[in-house]
Chains A and B, each alone.
Chain A
Amino acid sequence: MAKEFVAEPDLQFTRDVIAAGGSDVKKCYQCATCSVACPISPDNSPYPRKEMIWAQWGLKDRLVNDPDIWLCHHCNDCSTQCPRGANPGDLMKAVRKMVIEENSWPSFLGGLVGQPSLMVLTLGIPVAVVLFLVYINGGFRAPQPLNYGEFINYLYIQGVYTFALVFAVVSMVLSLKKYWANLEANCPINVGAVRKPFVPSLIEAFKEILPHDKFKECEANNIRYASHLMVFWGMIGLFVTTAIVAFNIDILHIAPPSRGGPGTVPIKILGNVSAIAFVLGLGIMIVRRITQPDQAGNSSYFDWLFLFVIFGTGATGLLTELVRWAGSAPGAYFLYAVHLMFVLALLLYLPFSKFAHIGYRTLAIAWGKSAGRDVTLPVVPNYAPVPAQEGGAEETPQA
C-alpha cells in the first residue's frame, strides 16, 4: 500500500493560485489528457495532471517544492486540448509565480513585484533613482557633441548598476539556495534516493538550455521556441557586448565606440545584431500574447510586467542608437535616461519578477538531471495511423 499522507487543504492557497492566474484550476476532473498531450512530460508522475489536483486540494507544501513546474515550457498544448477548459498551462505558470514569491529574499520584494496594486511603486523606484542621477548631474542637459558620460557621469552609473547587479545576484543566489534546500527536503515526487552530483547535473542542464533542446520538443508551438531562443541569445550577446565595453572603458581605458556613428567594429556588430534579435523575439512574444491568447495562454500582470520591462529595455536601447544616428541629441539623452530606468528595473527585480525563471528553471532542470527526472514519453504524431501488425490489428497490444 502506498504511504499515507494527511491532506490538509489550504483554502487560501487555492484562492491565491486562482488569483495568480490559475483561475480555471477547479474545473479539472483528472482525465489526464494534459499529461498525455504534453510532449515532454516524464513517464513517472507526469505533469501537469498531478499539479492540477494538488492545487485544487490546496496542497501548498507540495506545489511550492515541485520542480516539475519548471520543466514545463508552457507550449500550452495541455490547455488547448483540455476537454474541460481547466487550462493546466496557466496553472503551471501561476504556481511558478508563487514559487518565485515564496522563495524570494528579501521576501517583501517578492510580494511587491507580483502585486498589480503596487505597480506604481514597483516602476517608480527605478524611475526615481535615474531621475535622481540626472538631477545630481545638473538636471536634463544636452551636451554637444553627444557624450552620455557628460550627461550622467559613468562613475554614478557604475556605482548604482553594480550595486543593483550585486544585489540581484546575491538575492537570486540566496533564493535559489532556499529553493534547492526545499527541493532536496520536501520534493513531493517519488524519484528515489539516487542523485548525480550537482556540478555535472548543472552542466547537463546548460547543455540542454543553451540550444533550447527541451523547449524544441514542445512541437505544438515552435514559434515560441524560436522567439525565446532569439531573446535568449540576444540577451547573451548584449551582456557580452556590455561586459566587453565596460572592460574596455574601465580596465583598458578605451573610449566606447558610440561616438563614431554606425561603426563596423565587431563589438558594435555583435551589439546591434543581438539587440535586433532581442527586440524582434520579444516583439513576436507580445504580438502572440495579444492576438493568439488561446495558443499563448492567458497573460497575467506578472507576465506583462516582465515583458514590458524587458522589451522596454531592448526597445529604448535600440531607439537611443537610432535617434543618435538621426542627430537629435536631446532625444538621444532622453531615451538614454529612459533606457537606464528600464535596465535598472530589469536588474533590480531579476530575482522577484518573471525574469527569475532564468535561475529557477536552470536550477530545477539541474535538479531534474540529478534525480533522473527527464524521461520523456516517445513523441507520437497526432492521429498517426497505427502500423499494421502481424496477426491482425484486433489483438490487444501486450502491456
Chain B
Amino acid sequence: MDHKIGVYIDTGYGIGEALDIEALCTVATGEFSVPVCRAESYWNEPDKLAIIRNDIAGEGLTAVLIAGPSPRVHQDAFKFDGTIVERANLREHVVWCQPPNHEDTQMLAEDYIRMWIVKTSKYEDRPPFMEETSKDILVIGGGMTGMTAALEAAAAGYQVYLVEKEPQLGGWANKYAKVFTGKPPYTELTDSPVQEKIAAVNKSDKIKVFAGHRVFRISGAPGMFDVIVRADGPWIEKLDTAQNEWLAAKKAREAAGGAAGEKKEAEGEPTEPEVPDDPSEFAHEVVRVGSVVLAAGWRPEEPQNAEHLGYGTLPDVITNVQLEELAAKGKITRPSDGKEVSSIAFIECMGPEVEHPLLYGSNVSSLVALKQAQYLRKSNPDGKAFVFYNNMRTPGQYEVFYQAMQDDPGVFLSKGIPTGVASAASGLAVDVKDTLLGEQLRVNVDLVVLSTGMVPVTKDAAVLNLKYRQGPFLPENPYGFNDSHFICFPYETQRTGIYTAGCVRQPMDFQSCETDATGAALKAIQCMELVAQGKAVHPRAGDESFPEIFVTRCTQCKRCTEECPFGAYDEQPNGTPMPNPTRCRRCAICMGSCPERIISFRDHSVDMIGSMVKAMSVPDEYAEKPRVVVFICENDAYPVLDMAGMHRLQYSAFVRFIPLRCLGNINMVWIADALSKGIDGIMLIGCKYGDDYQCHFVKGSELAEYRMGKISETLQRLVLESDRINVQQLAIDEYYKLPGIINDFIELLSGFDPNPYKGF
C-alpha cells in the first residue's frame, strides 16, 4: 500500500543543535520524496499538533512519522484518527548518546529517518478481527475464591456460571474451626464467613450454580468458549488418567527430542489426548462464555520425609488439616486415647535432609500454626504451644497476630529442625536441634502437628480440560502452578481469557483469596470487553492487529502451532494452522517461527523489518565505518536504551537499533538480508530467560537464542565468522551495562575483516 507520509522532525531537546536538520529533511524529501517534511521544536505542543492536523487534512497524509523523542513519551499527544503514526527516536537513541555535530552522529540520524520512512510505508490496511462474542463468565470452583469471583462479576452485571465439584458450595472454608478476621485489631479469630457467602451466591439471579458438576471440556477461544458441564462421576478419573498419560508421554518425547522449537511429532504419536467419552453419550449442558476464572483450589500435601517424626506410626502425630477438623468439633483431644490436649508441638519444617522439606510450604502454614496455637491457648490457660519453624512468615497485618501470639506466655516459638518424635511416658517426646536456645532440646507434648503444603489441584489434573492443539492443560511451572510472567503479570496464564485465582495460583489466606478473586473477575471482564472490540489483551492491550497467514504457501511444518506460547493455533484437518485470533496476544513469535515467512501483522511483518535493514546506508569497506544492526525487544531492551540515553551514556555510533514486539519475532531471513547487505555484525538484545524468565511472552528470547544457534550454517555459506552474531540478555534495570555490551561487540568486530558483501 502506498502511503502519503509526513515527516516531522523535532528540533527540541538538543536535537536541533546536534544534527544537521536540513540534511535530514533532504533525506526524506530527496531519497523518499515524502510530500511533507517539517522541522520544529516540541511537536507535542498543541499549536504544533495543529500544523500536523492541517497537513493531514490539506495534503491528504495517510501516515505521520515523528522523528524526535522516544515513542515511549507523548503517546497520547500523537494520536490522529485514521492516520498511521510512527516514531523515530532521534533523542535517546541519537543525540543523547552520541557526540553532537559529528559525522557519525549525522549518519546515524539519517539512517533512522530512512529506516522509519520505509517502515511507515509498509503499513497495511486491515480491519481488526471482530466476531460475535459472549460476555458471560465461567467460574470453576465454588470455594471462597470462586464464590467471590462469581459475586464480583455478577455485581458488575455479568452472567456467571459457577461449577463446583462437591454437592455443596464452600470448599475448604466449610471445614475450618476459626479463621482470621482481617480486621483490626488483627489479634482475634472469628467463625468462617462461608455461610454468608453461600447465601449471597444462591440469592444472586446472575449466578447459575452447577454443584456436583465438573467441566468436561472447554473448546473455542476468548469471547466464544464452549463449555461442556457434566455431573461429577467416575468418568473424571478416566479422563484425568488419559490426559496425564498423554502429558507424560509428551514430556518424555520433548526430553528425548532436545531443545525447544524442535518438537515435531513422530508419525502415529497422538497430538491430543484420547478422550474416553463422547459428549453425545451422556447428559450434559453446554454454556458459551467469554472468559474463565479458574479457582479450583488446593489439596493438602501428604507429609513427605516425616517418618522420623512418627507420622503414620504414632497416632498422636497428625497434620494441621486433621487438627483443624479436631478443633472444629470442640475441645482438642488426643486421637490415641481421647484425653484433652494441654500441649502441642507444631512442626513447620520436617527436616534438613531434603532440598524442599515442605515443597508447598508457604506463609499460610506459619499462620495456621499460630492460629491453632491460639485454639489451644484460648481453651486452656495453662496450655503450652511450641512452634518450631524454619521461616516464620506473617506478612502484612498478620505481623500483629504474630506479635500477639508471641506475647502469650504459653506460646513458645523457636527456629529449629526436628530430629525425631518418640513415645514418652505421658505423651510424645520431640527432639529439636539448632534451636534459638542454641542447643538441642526435647519437649514433652500431648500432640504433634505437622504442617502440610498446599498443592494446586492443577498438579493432579487438567481441570479445564481444554480442547487445544497444545493439550488440555494450562502450561505449568515444575510445581504444578500456572506458569506466568510472575513478576509483572501474576494473574495471567498462557491461555488467553483464562485467569487463575486463589490457592490454585499460589497458597494464600482467605483475605488474599478474596482480593485475588476480585482481580481475576476484573481481568475476565476486561478480556471479554477487549475481545468484543477486536483488541488484544495484556500485555499488548488494545492492539488491533492480528496475525494473518498466507495459507496457500504453508508447508504444514507446524512450527507456529508448536511455538505459540499461548496455544493460539489449532490445526485444520489438512495440517495447516487454524488461528484463533482472540486467543492471540500479538507477540508475533509465530512470525519468527515460520520458515515460509507467510505470517504477518498489518503493522509488523517480515518484509517490513527486512526492508528497514535494507534501507540502511552501508559505507564501503574503505570508509572504516562498520555497521551493526541490533534487534531489540521493545518491552525491556527498548526502555533500557531510553534510560541509557537519559543518563547520557555514550556508545558507538555504528549501531542501528530495530525494535521488535518480542525477540521471538526474529526471522532468519533478516540475518541473511543484513549480512548480504554488508552489515558487519548483528546483535540481539532480549529479556532474561530460564526459570526466572522475564520475557513478556514467556519464551521469545529463549527461542531467539535457539534460532541463532542454527545460523552458523548460513554464515558458513557466506564464508563469515560465526561471532558476527551476538545474543544478549538484558534486564530492564541494566541500562548501565548497555555501552559495555555495544562497545565490546564493535571491538570484537574490529578484529575481523569488513563484511565482503559491502557494495553488492
Q: Which of A50-58, A138-146, A264-272, A299-307 contacts B (4 or more CB under 8 A)?
A: A50-58
Interface contact B439-A3, CB-CB below 8 Å: yes
- Give the nearest-CB partner of B382 in chain A: A11
Residue numbers in A under 8 Å from B409 (CB-CB): 11, 14-15, 18, 26, 58
The answer to whether the Cβ of B407 comes within 8 Å of any Cβ in the partner chain is yes
A2 partner residues in chain B, CB cutoff 8 A: 433, 438-440
**Which one of B410, B433, B438, B443 lies within 8 Å of A7 (CB-CB)?**
B443
Min CB gap A116→B, angstroms? 21
- Digit string of A1-37 for contact with B (CB within 8 Å is 1, else 0)? 1111111110100110010000000110110000000
Q: Min CB distance, A89 to chain B, in Å?
A: 19
Q: How far is the CB of B419 from chain A (nearest CB, A)?
A: 9
Question: Does B384 belong to the interface (CB within 8 Å)?
Answer: yes
Contact B436 A6 (CB under 8 A): no
| B493 is an interface residue with CB less than 8 A from chain A | no
In the assembled complex, which residues on chain B have CB atoms less than 8 Å from the CB atom of A7?
Answer: 412, 437, 441-443
Collect the chain B residues with CB atoms within 8 Å of residue A5's CB: 439-442
Return A57 CB to nearest CB of chain B, in Å. Answer: 6
Q: Which residue of chain A has its CB nearest to the CB of B410? A: A11
Indicate if the CB atoms of A1 and B443 lie closer than 8 Å: no
Q: Give Cα A4 to B438, complex, Å.
A: 11
Q: How distant is A188 from chain B, measured CB to nearest CB, in Å?
A: 10
Which residue of A1, A26, A45 is within 8 Å of B407 (Cβ)? A26
A56, B412: Cβ atoms under 8 Å? yes
Whether B543 is near chain A, meaning CB under 8 Å from some CB there, is: no
Asked if A4 and B441 make an inter-chain contact with CB atoms under 8 angstroms apart, the answer reads yes
Q: Binary interface profile of B, 663-682, with partner A (CB < 8 Å = 1, else 0)?
A: 00000000000000000000
User: What mask results when residues 423 to 437 of chain B are scored 1 for a CB within 8 Å of chain A, else 0?
Assistant: 000000101010011
A127 CA / B127 CA spacing, docked (Å)? 104
CB-CB nearest in chain B for A32 = B436
> Among A1, A29, A53, which residue has its beta carbon within 8 angstroms of that of B433?
A1
A18 CB contacts on chain B under 8 angstroms: 409
Residues of B within 8 A of A29 (CB): 406, 413
Select B436's contact among A8, A11, A30, A45, beta carbons within 8 Å: A30
With CB as the reference atom, state the residue of chain A lying closest to B436. Answer: A30
User: For the complex, what is the distance from the CA of A50 to the CA of B439, rounded to whole Å?
Assistant: 11
Q: Are A27 and B437 in contact (CB under 8 A)?
A: no
Q: Is the CB of A4 within 8 A of B440?
A: yes
Q: Are A53 and B444 in contact (CB under 8 A)?
A: no
Please, which residues of chain A bring their CB within 8 A of the CB of B433? Answer: 1-2
In the complex, whether B379 has a CB less than 8 A from a CB of chain A is: no
Cα of A269 to Cα of B206 in the assembled complex, Å = 98
Rounded to whole angstroms, the CA-CA distance of A45 and B441 in the bound complex is 17
Residues of B within 8 A of A6 (CB): 429, 441-444
Task: Kindly name the residue among A1, A18, A27, A53 whose own CB sees the greatest number of chain B CB atoms within 10 A.
Answer: A53
Given contacts A11-B384, A53-B436, A57-B412, A26 and B441 within 8 Å (CB-CB): no
Q: Does B408 contact A (CB under 8 A)?
A: yes
Q: In whole angstroms, what is the CA distance A208 to B431 when docked?
A: 43
Which residues from chain B contact A15 at a C-beta distance below 8 Å?
Answer: 409
What's the minimum C-beta distance from B370 to chain A, rounded to whole angstroms?
Answer: 14
Interface centre among A6, A14, A50, A54 (most CB of B within 10 A): A6
Residues of chain B from 432 to 464 with CB closer than 8 A to chain A in the complex: 433, 436-444
In-complex Cβ contact of B384 among A3, A9, A30, A50 (8 A): A9
**B403 within 8 Å of A (CB atoms):** yes
The answer to whether residues A8 and B444 also contact, given A26-B406, A27-B406, A58-B409 and a CB cut-off of 8 A, is yes
Task: Determine the chain B residues whose CB is within 8 A of the CB of A11 once the complex forms.
Answer: 382, 384, 409-410
**A5-B441, A5-B442 given; A27·B431 CB < 8 A:** no
**B437 / chain A contacts, CB cutoff of 8 Å:** 7, 50, 53-54, 57
- The interface residues of chain A lying within 8 Å CB-to-CB of B438 are 2, 45, 50
C-alpha spacing A8/B441, complex, angstroms: 10
Q: Which residues in A have their C-beta under 8 angstroms from that of B408?
A: 26
Q: Is the CB of A3 within 8 A of B440?
A: yes
A3 to B441, CA, bound (A): 8
| Residues of A73-127 whose CB lies within 8 A of B | none
B412 near A1: Cβ-Cβ < 8 Å: no
Q: Which residue of B lies closest to A28 (CB)?
A: B406
Chain A residues with CB below 8 A from B384, complex form: 9, 11
**CA–CA, A7 and B435, complex, Å:** 12
Q: How far is the CA of A11 from the CA of B407 in the complex (A)?
A: 12
Query: When chains A and B are docked, how far (Å) is the Cα of A298 from the Cα of B277?
Result: 76
Quick one: CB contact mask for B738-758 with A, threshold 8 Å, 1 for yes?
000000000000000000000
Q: Which residues of B contact A26 (CB under 8 A)?
A: 406-409
A9 vs B382: C-alpha distance when bound (angstroms): 11
A7 to B437, CA, bound (A): 10
User: A9–B412 contact, CB under 8 A?
Assistant: yes
CA distance A8 to B507 in the complex (A): 35
Complexed CA–CA distance, A333 and B441 (Å): 63
> Which A residues are in CB contact (< 8 Å) with B407?
26-27
Instruction: Report whether A4 and B442 are in contact in the complex, using a CB–CB cutoff of 8 Å.
Output: yes
What's the nearest-Cβ distance from chain A to residue B134, in Å? Answer: 53
CA of A95 to CA of B68 in the docked complex: distance in angstroms? 74
In Å, the complex CA distance between A8 and B442 comes to 9
Candidate in A15, A30, A57, A58 with the most chain B CB atoms within 10 angstroms? A57
Contacts of A1 in B (CB 8 A): 433, 440
Set of chain A residues within 8 Å of B429, measured between Cβ atoms? 6
Residues from chain A with Cβ under 8 Å of B441 in the complex: 4-7
Select from chain B the residue with minimum beta-carbon distance to A50.
B438
Chain B, 376-419, CB within 8 A of any chain A CB: 382, 384, 403, 406-410, 412-414
What separation, in Å, do the CA atoms of A5 and B443 have in the docked complex? 9
Q: Are B406 and A4 in contact (CB under 8 A)?
A: no
Rounded to whole Å, the gap between the CB of B71 and the closest CB of chain A is 40
Q: What is the CA–CA distance of A360 and B429 in the complex, to the nearest angstrom?
A: 37
Specify which chain A residues have a CB less than 8 angstroms from the CB of B439 in the assembled complex.
Answer: 2-5
A2 to B384, CA, bound (A): 25
- Contact check, A4 vs B431: say whether CB atoms are below 8 A apart: yes
Give Cα A2 to B429, complex, Å. Answer: 18
* A-contacting residues, B192-215, CB 8 Å: none
B654 to chain A, nearest CB (A): 35
Among residues of B, the one whose C-beta sits closest to the C-beta of A24 is B407
Within the assembled complex, what's the spacing in Å between the Cα atoms of A273 and B10?
A: 88
Interface centre among B431, B437, B441, by most chain A C-beta atoms within 10 angstroms, is B437
CA distance A9 to B443 in the complex (A): 9
Segment 117-163 of A: residues with Cβ below 8 Å from B: none
- Give the docked Cα–Cα distance between A50 and B436 (Å): 9
In whole Å, how far is B441's beta carbon from the nearest beta carbon of chain A? 5
Residue of B nearest to A14 (CB): B409
Distance to closest chain A CB from B384 (angstroms): 6
Q: A8 CA to B426 CA in the complex, in Å?
A: 13
Kindly state the separation between the CA atoms of A30 and B436 in the bound complex, as whole angstroms. 7
Minimum Cβ distance to chain B for residue A39 (Å): 22
The chain B residue with its CB closest to the CB of A18 is B409
A312 to chain B, nearest CB (A): 36
| B221 shortest CB reach to chain A, Å | 52
User: Which residue on chain B has the smallest CB distance to residue A56?
Assistant: B412
Q: Which residues of A contact B444 (CB under 8 A)?
A: 6, 8
Residue on B nearest A23 in the bound complex, by CB = B407
What are 30 A-B interface contacts by the 8 Å CB criterion? A1-B433, A1-B440, A2-B433, A2-B438, A2-B440, A3-B439, A3-B440, A5-B439, A5-B440, A5-B442, A6-B429, A6-B441, A6-B443, A6-B444, A7-B412, A7-B442, A8-B444, A9-B412, A11-B382, A26-B408, A27-B403, A27-B406, A27-B407, A29-B406, A29-B413, A30-B436, A50-B438, A53-B436, A57-B412, A58-B409
A1-B440, A4-B442, A14-B409 provided; 18 other pairs, C-beta below 8 A? A2-B439, A4-B431, A5-B439, A7-B437, A7-B442, A8-B443, A8-B444, A9-B384, A9-B412, A18-B409, A26-B408, A27-B407, A45-B438, A50-B437, A50-B438, A53-B437, A56-B412, A57-B437
B-side residues, CB < 8 A to A, are 382, 384, 403, 406-410, 412-414, 429, 431, 433, 436-444
6 closest Cβ pairs, A-B complex: A14-B409, A4-B440, A2-B439, A30-B436, A6-B442, A26-B407
